[in-house]
Structure 1
Amino acid sequence: METNVITLKPLHDRVVVLPAAAEKTSAGGIIIPDTAKEKPQKGTVVAVGNGKKDEPMTVKVNDQVLYGKYAGQEIEIEGKEYLIMRESDIVAVL
């Protein structure tokens, strides 16, 4: 498994997620063009904030998570696309 090392430290209840790659083929084997690919809704947590004073963080680095379709703010660090979002935007840990 590739180790995701990132120098960004999110604040409070925010996490940085590396989105999973979009599907390249459908279940039936049809190749999906880049313009028709859906935005992925799962990814890997690469950095976690300290949490709020009375709410500790429940996710940790390397957790596989599911999040809402429009969750997070897209950022680019060293040529890679990441999402930074509140922990409350994460709906499940896989």
Structure 2
Amino acid sequence: MKASGMALARRIVPLLDRVLIEKVAPKKTSAGGILLPESVVSKLNEGKVLAVGPGARGKDGEVIPPSVSAGDTVVLPEYGGSTLEVEGKEMWLFRDEDLLGKVVSE
């Protein structure tokens, strides 16, 4: 039995301003249920935040907290991040500043 991403994330604790992310598969249907062709389906540029480090230190020594928290869905850059494989699951480590945005659900 394979563990979920959140269970695996407990075994990896990001340091400084690092964010542990599991990429989310792009949607293959529209909101109305229409199947989208592969040319329209976006690449894996969204991910779910599994764990977050405590933050980076500023020039004055103060800790700057990360802008995301565990459970957030974020927009990722096309390239970058460090790939990790834990028990067959692929995860990525990004710096907080490398994340492009946070997806807000309505």
TM-score, L = length of structure 1: 0.78
Structure with bigger gyration radius:
2
Quote the Cα distance in structure 2 between the aligned partners of 1:30 and 1:61: 30
Distance apart, 1:38 and its partner CA: 6.1
> How many percent identity over aligned positions?
30
Q: Secondary structure at the match of 1:88?
A: helix
Q: Secondary structure at the match of 2:54?
A: coil
> Runs of 5+ in structure 2 lacking a partner?
59-63
**Paired residues, number:** 88
**Residues 5 and 22, structure 2, Cα contact 8 Å, conserved in 1:** no
1:4 aligns with 2:6: yes
TM-score, L = length of structure 2: 0.70
Tell me which stretches of 4 or more aligned residues in structure 1 moved more than 4 Å.
25-28
Distance apart, 1:57 and its partner CA: 1.1
Deviations 1:13-66 (A, max 9, x none): 10010001245x47663665xxxx864000100010111123211110000000
